[in-house]
Structure 1
């Protein structure tokens, strides 16, 4: 079987339910099986995966950091829906400047994008899987 290209859509928050962690485990597994993860689109509460301000307890898995490592190691785009992110206080440097905010908190390796990016992924990837 030839490798497939994937985009994942994550709607679960970074902590509080299992959705985002399951998506991360799925992402790792499909990469290990030789498939290519092109992007992860974080939508609704999933945008909280992109904050640089989450600090898990010492004995907890650092999911936000794990996404960053996976993305850097495997050249995966991490995109937060800009509208959903702004509503939940996850703000890029560009958005902070545009809205006259003094601070930004989008984690390194994450980028804000619109739903057009997700639509493009749906048209160009072999599989789109939502968590």
Structure 2
């Protein structure tokens, strides 16, 4: 009986060494997914805010400013080159409805660089022109 116990003395350490990398990968994946989910929500809210400003004020510069002010916590910051406003002007009130679409493209850097350098996320907001 003693010989058998002595032979299995380090088995739990070896099994633990096999499981630790998988657990670490799982924890890092959960953290990265949670961060990406939070950034995606921020981008969607910022795009909706930009679409609202564009629909009401008919000013693409104001819409871009609204998007930038709605994303103060993102690092790196959102630039005008990452914000697309289409159409660039709402037509005057007519019988047809026109929607304005604001899209924010953001290269989100990973927290740990374990899964790569960054991932491209997109937030989109759509609203009818002239409220």
State the structure with bigger RCO (CA 8 A, min sep 6), 1 or 2. Answer: 1
TM-score (norm 1): 0.26
Q: Which has the higher helix share?
A: 2
TM-score (norm 2): 0.26
